[in-house]
Amino acid sequence: MIALVFAGLVAVLMACATYLLLQRHPVRMVIGLGLFTHAVNLLIFGTGVSERGLPPIIVDKASFAGDISQYVDPLPQALILTAIVISFGIVAFLIALLHRRNSLEAVESCTDRVDDPFAMEPAHALEGVEEDYEWLEDVVLMNEINNSKGSR
């Protein structure tokens, strides 16, 4: 009976998490991801069944003749600990990614972009300004002098 209630709890958590993950609101997505990781952790934890009152450690393995199925399996607990650390990292990355997206949307929209991505000023600000290419003539002249010295 307890296993059925536990399975129902995991199913409800996963259903709520799926509903929240399908929403487009960033806070709901983060909460849904947290609920989903908790549901998976409960599912993994439910696989490690333990018997009350028995210590999980066998002192003398060579002389032990009892049933080992009564003891707790430590693998699900280790997997849950690893899953908690990984889910914390994923949630932190998701929050940083959403923050970066929101900060970029606030600064620049798609219609404000400059045609030339390498231009320092917008193209309309350069109208009526004469270009000065004297520096380019100096660079070309210096390259010719350096090439002629290298060929001698």
Domains of the chain (ranges, CATH numbers) = 1-50+71-123 (1.10.287)
Q: State the DSSP code for 129.
A: P
pLDDT digits (tens, 9 = 90+) for 40-57: 988 888 876 655 656 667
pLDDT value for 146? 82
DSSP secondary structure of 37-73: HHHHHHHHHHHS---TT--S--S-SSS--S-GGGSPP
Contact 10, 42 (CB under 8 A): yes
pLDDT value for 54? 61
pLDDT value for 101? 85
- The model carries a pTM of 0.56
pLDDT value for 59? 73
DSSP secondary structure of 7-23: HHHHHHHHHHHHHHHTS
Residue 20, token pair as written in the block: 């929240």
pLDDT value for 44? 85
Integer-rounded Cα radius of gyration of the chain: 32
pLDDT value for 119? 54
CA–CA gap between residue 36 and residue 20 (Å, rounded): 10
Non-local (6+) Cβ contacts of 10 within 8 A are: 39, 42, 43, 46
For the chain, list residues with pLDDT below 50.
none
Name the nearest CA neighbour of 13 among 33, 24, 1, 88. 33
